[in-house]
Chain A
């Protein structure tokens, strides 16, 4: 790994902690900064540093190694351990890279969407949210997960609420999200409490060892598992627990929507994978049961109902929000398959969906930024008034549908393959139906954009008004990335297979 040699030595050893500490401290600084510009520059710089650091972590673990970092020199189980392996390193990189792109993208939109005196606090909340998300992914301590989960959640509530100067409904959305998120976190911490009672440790690795020794443990650990699943299910918008999501996505500032859609649910999904597969184990009967029937089943119900609901929405952000609910269903189906192929596909879809949805929500933000577009009917003629943004939206939409040579295709195709391997032909049918529904809700927007003429104002067709470069560049970066993944997904597949091999260590070598 020649790339590693570019990084300083202390980063090699302390990278895992550095990743969390930097945005956390920077968040505190940003809160007291007097000017927006400085806070924005700080945010971009910090997220860029985080991206580099997480890239380094990915490079370090790519050969299947694991980094164990004892925080403050206190070894686990007494101290808090940060663990980076094939499962969470790509997620870390995803979160910090999206964080960087979003902070660049946000520079113009924040001015339009957030009140002047709230801008520096906004950046502070964003940085703390970033730190929280990175923390809950990087940590190897179960209680630490809860802490960072709350750190990220509380900052997210305030981020969503800051959309209020654009749309007052952001306040109710944030309130709903607050209530639901707190319930989720409470369920999670109750589950953790039970688990601590059973195993006597909070270190994830120790928990796993003890639970395996106890062959799944008593009723206590079963109940713990139930609480944890529901708590995380709420955070990752598993189908019937997704009600907070459309509101939060629809009314928060554009930058926050992009960030939430690409990272927040993904981090929660990572935790679900971590708990179901490495702390608990699918060889425990009750875990297996929940995985096969509940996760996969709800995933498929979510795929269909989420897509149907997306079709009938009038607010474009809600269209994509419900589409996210459906896409989470795909990932849950991959998890529910439980095979290495299924997990690889689900993990791949997790990363691809972050890229695709990020690009799409960025495009929506640009539409709002220029024309204040929020409704589906406002899409008329957008291909003429904002050709580049609409081009990005089109390619992203095609990728979401799963057209060949796009990222969406590679992961959906792998999911179909995995379902076939397992013999779940009805799951294949549901994937196909859901994709057809995706054609409808994306196609509806594209038809309006390309075949309707732009609206007229006072007898004049509205002038062409392309989004600023600072928004276009991150957007097109993600779009081109999704095309590149569609053409050659080798790197992504390697990462996904690495993650799957962490989740299913035994069968990893023998999988296709």
Chain B
């Protein structure tokens, strides 16, 4: 039995627990499952994974072998951080009484963990889609406006899955039926399709809109849960399949830069955080594109850090939203008086995402930027320097919108006059834990060394060198100065109530317009067609009805005399056949 457990993908525990939750009417049991399942799964990962790559749980489906369990140093990082995020989310959502959220969250987490630990593309596709389907429930729990956003979210993710499957089939068939998920590369058959599929889920520029569309509309706990898994699963797939693919460097650099502008003018703070999520993903995509051991370590480390601090920021916004009912910058302010703990946690999260020294992103993002620097130094190509410049600009931008804007407009700025309760204890515990982790991951005496020891490659890297710390502080203070200056002269964009459409304008406005026009034309056309076809269908239907219905010719209870004649007729027919056959 224990042996069997060692061959079971730990993600299945989540899925089992999720199904159990769907059936359990007892809230406290569900909540315990939500917290304990990730702990157990993490324990099992620890049990299964020694130092060697583990491949097992091979299931044959027809001619195809599915590898349901593969743990190596790369996937292990993702597995652990997903479990960690699961625990934090479980604690954070403790106050909520909602069976759908509990079960779909567990299944969703399970799909993500399974997706990370499977060893072939077909299994990946299954969990890729399962993650999409289970997570859309979390979006739908968000209430008004969430339904349509959920539909859009689902459509895009199903499209992503279909592309993945198409790419995988092309790839596997050209490999002679080998679907093993290893390094694919963009030039392999089907490679581009799969890259686009992963790009959709990862929020590549112009494919990113679902993040800002769906995440802010999901429920409070839903957003926190969503932020941790979907995009990180896609990142894992990219890291596994496309490490060192050059085009990812430029895509990643672009990804870091463009959300900055939208984030600065956006009013809904959860949307701001969604943009900043996009921006952080850019760093990691860029790191995958560089593909050196240092860069890949940076990516894995930054995934760990990002799940924690981005979760922390979404949690603090969720707590604010729970108490005030809104996350709009224009309606918040001055909350530090009534929510002091949340303020402190949010500031730690903000400092982490901005990569203040002693806070987590500092030790992880710097690896990616260093890797970019080294590759620029090696190649001396102007484009590599441009990439580096973009990353640095984006780092300053992060400080601008996530580091300053989010806490400033929520907790300080002009007093909104709201006097609310502090967040519930469970949210404070979750945020407190996340904050501790943010500090621990960057702790110079043992903390970051521990984080580095988990990373896939053995690379010596020291984040706390004098020049690095000083440089980072210069960057951050310059950004703060710029914010203060712009605020002072009144040039900083005011918080206004509006929903900003960026590229999604093309499908939410233009596309919709085209569809409306087409449907109008279609209606006119179809009226005429239907008049003709209705007559036809009605005619045929009636004919069928006359023949087959209980009152129809075929079904009249045949008098036995007629049936006897029919039998004799059959005999004649049979004998004719026999006669022809024999002669």
Chain A interface residues toward B at CB < 8 A: 172, 175-176, 179-180, 183-184, 187, 216, 219, 222-223, 225-227, 229-230, 233-234, 240-241, 243-244, 246-247, 285-290, 293-294, 305, 308-309, 311-315, 318
Given contacts A180-B563, A313-B549, 6 further A-B contacts (CB under 8 A): A176-B558, A180-B564, A219-B582, A223-B578, A240-B569, A289-B577
Complex Cα distance, B564 from A244, in Å, reads: 11
Take A309-B548, A311-B548 as given contacts and tell me if A176 and B563 are in contact as well, using a CB distance cutoff of 8 Å: yes
B574 sits at the interface (CB 8 A): yes
Partner of B578 from A180, A225, A244, A313 at Cβ < 8 Å: A225
The reply to whether A312 and B581 contact each other, CB–CB distance below 8 Å, is no
Partner of B574 from A176, A290, A308 at Cβ < 8 Å: A290
30 intermolecular pairs with C-beta atoms under 8 Å apart: A176-B560, A176-B563, A179-B563, A180-B560, A183-B564, A187-B571, A216-B582, A222-B575, A222-B578, A226-B574, A230-B570, A230-B571, A240-B566, A241-B563, A243-B563, A246-B555, A286-B578, A286-B581, A289-B577, A289-B581, A290-B574, A293-B577, A294-B573, A305-B548, A308-B548, A309-B554, A309-B555, A311-B548, A313-B555, A314-B550
Min CB distance A154 to B, Å, is: 16
Q: Kindly report which residue of chain A lies nearest to residue B552, judged by CB atoms.
A: A312
Complex Cα distance, B334 from A31, in Å, reads: 92
Mostly, the A contact residues are helix
Across the interface, which residues of A come within 8 angstroms of B563, CB to CB? Answer: 176, 179-180, 183, 241, 243-244
Min CB distance A231 to B, Å, is: 9
Min CB distance A302 to B, Å, is: 12
The reply to whether A230 and B567 contact each other, CB–CB distance below 8 Å, is yes
The reply to whether B548 and A172 contact each other, CB–CB distance below 8 Å, is no
The reply to whether B544 and A308 contact each other, CB–CB distance below 8 Å, is yes
Partner of B554 from A216, A290, A305, A315 at Cβ < 8 Å: A305
Complex Cα distance, B569 from A247, in Å, reads: 22
Q: Kindly report which residue of chain B lies nearest to residue A227, judged by CB atoms.
A: B571
Take A309-B554, A309-B555 as given contacts and tell me if A294 and B577 are in contact as well, using a CB distance cutoff of 8 Å: yes
The reply to whether B581 and A288 contact each other, CB–CB distance below 8 Å, is yes
The reply to whether B550 and A223 contact each other, CB–CB distance below 8 Å, is no
The reply to whether A315 and B578 contact each other, CB–CB distance below 8 Å, is no
Proximity bits, B530-545, A CB within 8 Å = 1, else 0: 0000000000000011
The reply to whether B578 and A289 contact each other, CB–CB distance below 8 Å, is yes
The reply to whether A183 and B567 contact each other, CB–CB distance below 8 Å, is yes
Across the interface, which residues of A come within 8 angstroms of B547, CB to CB? Answer: 308
Complex Cα distance, B581 from A313, in Å, reads: 38
The reply to whether A294 and B566 contact each other, CB–CB distance below 8 Å, is no
Q: Kindly report which residue of chain A lies nearest to residue B560, judged by CB atoms.
A: A179
Min CB distance B583 to A, Å, is: 8
Partner of B550 from A226, A234, A240, A313 at Cβ < 8 Å: A313
Complex Cα distance, B568 from A241, in Å, reads: 10
Min CB distance A471 to B, Å, is: 25
Take A184-B567, A227-B571 as given contacts and tell me if A312 and B578 are in contact as well, using a CB distance cutoff of 8 Å: no
Take A180-B560, A290-B581 as given contacts and tell me if A234 and B548 are in contact as well, using a CB distance cutoff of 8 Å: no
Proximity bits, B387-410, A CB within 8 Å = 1, else 0: 000000000000000000000000
The reply to whether B567 and A241 contact each other, CB–CB distance below 8 Å, is yes
Partner of A286 from B548, B564, B582 at Cβ < 8 Å: B582
Proximity bits, B297-338, A CB within 8 Å = 1, else 0: 000000000000000000000000000000000000000000
The reply to whether B570 and A240 contact each other, CB–CB distance below 8 Å, is yes
Complex Cα distance, B549 from A246, in Å, reads: 13
10 smallest A-B Cβ distances: which pairs? A289-B581, A286-B581, A179-B560, A312-B549, A286-B578, A286-B582, A312-B548, A243-B558, A226-B574, A309-B548
Complex Cα distance, B557 from A175, in Å, reads: 12
Complex Cα distance, B552 from A286, in Å, reads: 36
The reply to whether B557 and A234 contact each other, CB–CB distance below 8 Å, is no
The reply to whether A226 and B578 contact each other, CB–CB distance below 8 Å, is yes
Min CB distance A31 to B, Å, is: 28
Q: Kindly report which residue of chain B lies nearest to residue A314, judged by CB atoms.
A: B550
Across the interface, which residues of A come within 8 angstroms of B527, CB to CB? Answer: none
Complex Cα distance, B567 from A219, in Å, reads: 21
Q: Kindly report which residue of chain B lies nearest to residue A178, judged by CB atoms.
A: B560
The reply to whether A285 and B560 contact each other, CB–CB distance below 8 Å, is no
Min CB distance A500 to B, Å, is: 21
The reply to whether A230 and B564 contact each other, CB–CB distance below 8 Å, is no
Complex Cα distance, B566 from A180, in Å, reads: 10
Min CB distance A287 to B, Å, is: 8
The reply to whether A243 and B566 contact each other, CB–CB distance below 8 Å, is yes
Q: Kindly report which residue of chain B lies nearest to residue A294, judged by CB atoms.
A: B577
Complex Cα distance, B112 from A216, in Å, reads: 67
Complex Cα distance, B565 from A5, in Å, reads: 54
B580 sits at the interface (CB 8 A): yes
The reply to whether B567 and A318 contact each other, CB–CB distance below 8 Å, is no
Q: Kindly report which residue of chain A lies nearest to residue B576, judged by CB atoms.
A: A226
Across the interface, which residues of A come within 8 angstroms of B570, CB to CB? Answer: 230, 233, 240-241
Complex Cα distance, B580 from A288, in Å, reads: 11
Across the interface, which residues of A come within 8 angstroms of B544, CB to CB? Answer: 308, 312
Q: Kindly report which residue of chain B lies nearest to residue A233, judged by CB atoms.
A: B570
Min CB distance A370 to B, Å, is: 24
Across the interface, which residues of B come within 8 angstroms of A172, CB to CB? Answer: 557
Complex Cα distance, B547 from A399, in Å, reads: 28
Across the interface, which residues of B come within 8 angstroms of A230, CB to CB? Answer: 567, 570-571, 574
Across the interface, which residues of A come within 8 angstroms of B574, CB to CB? Answer: 226, 229-230, 290, 294
Q: Kindly report which residue of chain B lies nearest to residue A184, judged by CB atoms.
A: B567
Min CB distance A114 to B, Å, is: 23
Partner of B571 from A180, A226, A247, A285 at Cβ < 8 Å: A226
Q: Kindly report which residue of chain B lies nearest to residue A218, judged by CB atoms.
A: B582
Complex Cα distance, B552 from A314, in Å, reads: 12
Across the interface, which residues of B come within 8 angstroms of A287, CB to CB? Answer: 581
Complex Cα distance, B566 from A229, in Å, reads: 14
Across the interface, which residues of B come within 8 angstroms of A176, CB to CB? Answer: 557-558, 560, 563
Complex Cα distance, B555 from A314, in Å, reads: 11
